Amino acid sequence: MGEFVRVETEGAVGVIRLDRPKMNALNVQVQRELHEAADQVSADEAVRAVVIWGGERVFAAGADIKEMQDMSYADMARHSVRLQNAFKALAGIPKPVIAAITGYALGGGCELALTADFRVAAEDAKLGQPEILLGLIPGAGGTQRLPRLVGPAKAKDLIFSGRQVDAAEALAIGLVDRVVPAAEVYKTAVEWAGTFAGGPALALKAAKEAVDHGLEVDLDTGLEIERLQFTGTFATDDRTEGMRAFVAKEKPGFAGR
């Protein structure tokens, strides 16, 4: 358990909880602790789905600008590798991941939300990539994950302007998947994650890897990735149980093996 990031559990749902007052600014320590939390939930077989949660007030308002202000090019050349590795670890969690967004998800906070498979936002949430207003560009996946999610034109609009979007617009462009009252964000995310917790863990992992890796390649290569992942599920106990239950007209009891 880190000073600013900890892993809690709600049944089979692991909750990566950010808690760095006041705005969950993502300084070097928080980035390191996020990486450690991602490794922890990835390795814990009892955790079957994950929620990333910044608390009732704010998801994450972005990088710690005061910490970055005095960094040289050489400093950032070294640090940016660690930054991206932390976010890669979060995006690579081999389980369904849901970001529960309240308040602001800006800059690095928006990029953090982009590492999740799904995003639940409060009605009054604000999202954006304002780095351009500092003379910068996103450095933790914003120029890559955002256009893959909302398309290049919408991504360029947000990145070039630095403007914030409200939850309604974020939903309309596909940046978030559900919008609920702020008081219901955490509960909605945990309940949604819970719907995956009893599923076939290895098949869910295979599906996530097939989709994510397939987006990076041409169609024929993507189909080969899918074929290999699909055939791999035939080596799992859950595939045997799923087909047995289907034939017997019973509910499967997946064990995650």
Q: Are residues 255 and 199 in contact, defined by beta-carbon separation less than 8 angstroms?
A: no
Q: Are residues 119 and 175 in contact, defined by beta-carbon separation less than 8 angstroms?
A: yes
Q: Catalytic annotation on 131? A: yes
User: Tokens representing 250?
Assistant: 């019973």
Find the catalytic residue in 3, 8, 67, 131: 131
Query: How far, CA to CA in Å, does 96 sit from each of 37, 135, 218?
Result: 15, 35, 24
Find the catalytic residue in 111, 191, 209, 216: 111
Report residue 45: phi and psi, to 5°.
-70, -20
Query: How far, CA to CA in Å, does 13 sit from each of 90, 148, 149, 161, 182?
Result: 15, 27, 25, 37, 20
* Residue labelled with tokens 């450690």: 36
Which long-range contacts link 154-158 to residues 24+ away (Cβ below 8 Å)? 158/128, 158/129
Strands (E), the chain: 5-10, 13-18, 49-53, 97-101, 104-106, 118-122, 126-128, 164-166, 178-180
Catalytic residue set? 111, 131
